[in-house]
């Protein structure tokens, strides 16, 4: 355990940030999962709505620095192509 006051504070702030980042990543995973579920079900309208929400969630996570911008772009691209391939 840290003895210096600033080190103790860093431990607390790091824990808070880790908790926040974990929550954001979970939200992103849920959004991606909802798009994939809609694609599997074959419902294009629902898939497009879910894609729109997922894209916003992913972009927000990237802008906050929780995930890398290239990772976000890759996720959105894969989801969009899977929705576009639907009949």
Q: pTM here?
A: 0.87
Q: What is the pLDDT of residue 34?
A: 97
Counted domains in the chain:
1
Q: Within a domain: residue 52?
A: yes
CATH value at residue 85: 1.20.58.110
Q: Within a domain: residue 9?
A: no
For residue 72, what are its two tokens? 């976000």
What does DSSP assign to residue 62?
H
Rounded mean pLDDT, 46-60: 97
> Average model confidence (pLDDT) for the chain?
96
Residue written as token pair 């926040």: 20
Full domain range(s) for residue 54: 27-87
Per-residue pLDDT tens over the stretch 61-70: 999 999 999 9
Query: Which stretch of DSSP H or E encloses residue 85?
Result: none
């Amino acid at each position: 355990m840290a003895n210096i006051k600033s080190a103790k504070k860093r431990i607390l702030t790091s824990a808070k940030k880790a908790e926040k980042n974990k929550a954001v990543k979970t939200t992103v995973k849920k959004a991606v999962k909802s798009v994939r579920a809609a694609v599997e079900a074959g419902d294009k309208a629902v898939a497009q709505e879910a894609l729109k929400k997922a894209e916003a969630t992913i972009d927000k996570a990237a802008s906050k620095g929780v995930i890398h911008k290239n990772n976000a772009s890759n996720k959105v691209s894969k989801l969009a192509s899977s929705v576009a391939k639907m009949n």
